């Protein structure tokens, strides 16, 4: 057991425990806070993979934006969340848990059947991530310029649509209030 492996096991334990709490916690607010713990754990896993850029992006996009968005949504739908405290999981949850365990068993079998999975990941050279090249290839028409622009348009369309859906419209004249 190297120190790195012990660190990995600690991170993995934190991530998995908080993930399980995030899907089983009775109060949605607690579930969202456990989700934040899970996302931070995943960011640490990215850091152990030496993907430092995506570790930072994970913290900024997931913890900074998505988790806060989920917290807002939970607070805006608070009344119904409180009413549903008694049964946070549906009636068939045992069957669902068995299905999830089955999928997990299948995936682990597939990993075991693959000899290369035992490869020990070694430390990469310092500049292995090559972010400069990534920036160039994203803007390169022969590289990924089209997917990049399409995803920008997707984001803009989605955000405009989300505002349109979520904004509260007052009735024009008369009506209630």
Q: Is 147:139 a contact under the CB 8 Å cutoff?
A: no
Contacts of 44 (CB under 8 A, 6+ apart): 11, 15, 55
Contact status: 22 vs other proteins (CB under 8 A): yes
Footprint of other proteins on 129-168 (CB under 8 A): 129-130, 133-134, 137-138, 143-144, 147-148, 151, 154-155, 158-159, 161-163, 165-166, 168
| 48 vs 174, beta carbon nearer other proteins | 48
Q: Is 171 left (phi over 0), alpha (psi -120 to 50) or beta?
A: beta
Q: Report how far residue 67's alpha carbon sits from residue 86's, in angstroms, rounded to the nearest whole number.
A: 24
Q: Report how far residue 114's alpha carbon sits from residue 84's, in angstroms, rounded to the nearest whole number.
A: 44
Q: Other CB atoms closer than 10 Å to residue 13's CB: what's the count? A: 11
Figure out which of the listed residues 10, 56, 82, 124 binds other proteins, where binding follows CB under 8 A: 124
Q: Is 58:42 a contact under the CB 8 Å cutoff?
A: yes
Figure out which of the listed residues 10, 56, 61, 139 binds other proteins, where binding follows CB under 8 A: 61
Contact status: 33 vs other proteins (CB under 8 A): no
Footprint of other proteins on 72-111 (CB under 8 A): 72-74, 76-77, 79-81, 84, 87-90, 92-93, 96-97, 99-101, 103-104, 107-108, 111
State the minimum distance, in angstroms, from the CB of residue 174 to other proteins.
20
Q: Is 48:124 a contact under the CB 8 Å cutoff?
A: no
Contact status: 10 vs other proteins (CB under 8 A): no
State the minimum distance, in angstroms, from the CB of residue 88 to other proteins.
7
């Amino acid at each position: 057991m190297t120190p790195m492996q012990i660190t990995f096991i600690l991170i993995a334990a934190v991530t998995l425990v908080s993930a399980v709490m995030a899907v089983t916690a009775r109060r949605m607010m607690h579930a969202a806070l456990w989700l934040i713990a899970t996302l931070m754990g995943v960011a640490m896993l990215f850091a152990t993979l030496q993907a430092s850029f995506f570790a930072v992006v994970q913290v900024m996009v997931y913890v900074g934006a998505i988790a806060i968005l989920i917290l807002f949504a939970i607070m805006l739908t608070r009344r119904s969340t409180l009413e549903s405290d008694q049964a946070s999981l549906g009636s068939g949850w045992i069957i669902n848990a068995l299905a999830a365990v089955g999928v997990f068993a299948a995936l682990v079998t597939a990993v075991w059947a693959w000899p290369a999975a035992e490869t020990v990941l070694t430390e990469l050279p310092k500049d292995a991530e090559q972010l400069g090249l990534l920036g160039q290839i994203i803007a390169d028409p022969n590289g990924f310029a089209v997917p990049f622009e399409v995803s920008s348009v997707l984001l803009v369309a989605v955000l405009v649509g989300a505002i349109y859906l979520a904004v509260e419209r007052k009735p024009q004249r008369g009506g209630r209030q």
